Amino acid sequence: MHQIKTLSNRIRKNTGVDSIRCYQCGKCSAGCPLAGDMDFTPNTVMRMIQVEEKETDKKLLQSEAIWLCLSCEMCISRCPMEIDIPKVMDFLRQESLKEGLQNKSANHNIIPFHQSFLDMIRFTGRSYEIGLIADYKLRSKKILQDITLAPQMLMHGKLPIFPKAVKNRKNIKEIFKKTNML
């Protein structure tokens, strides 16, 4: 039973990525722009998946690394085994949310930002910066962030005050409803 439930198996099933193919050469970590800032580097992430231990799986889903990953795809573009680490990272983030294991630090910044972004699309069909920033500030409680940048952007016409929404908003709402159900 445990065998089926391991993260490694879920990853294989959902993304098609077979983590056991990783032979730990470390080329991903060597090229990763944020490896130095991560709690677990990309090759360590792959190793943690390989060991198939409940505790390790949990530790991984709680890590900040999975949220720091920029999806820049440098790792896979140079991976000798062509292992799609970005795809694995996407899956890990979604699993982390699903199991409520979000990393504490990321939960204050990166995660609320993504959520605010999706909220914006849900409501308007497009991203709308002022709304996004406001929403994010409320979620992250970082009211003062970028307080000097915003007026500058405004003055340069880079922050439209009114959202330019999709006309067929119903369609967008439907999409969100359906995909959340899927």
Distance, C-alpha 93 to centroid of its chain: 5
Using the rule CB under 8 A, is 178 a contact of other proteins? yes
Output 3 or 148, the one with its CB closest to other proteins. 148
Number of residues this chain uses to bind other proteins (CB under 8 A)? 85
**Residues 38-62 as b or e (16 or more Cβ within 10 Å = b):** bbbbbbbbbbbbbebeeebbeebbb
Distance, C-alpha 81 to centroid of its chain: 23
Output 2 or 164, the one with its CB closest to other proteins. 164
40 within 8 A of 60, measured Cβ to Cβ: yes
Token code pair at residue 97: 């949310």
**54-93 positions binding other proteins, by CB under 8 A:** 67-68, 70-74, 76-82, 90-91, 93
Among 5-13, 51-59, 160-168, the segment contacting other proteins (CB under 8 A) = 160-168
Using the rule CB under 8 A, is 27 a contact of other proteins? yes
**118-147 positions binding other proteins, by CB under 8 A:** 118, 120-121, 125-129, 133, 136, 140, 145-146
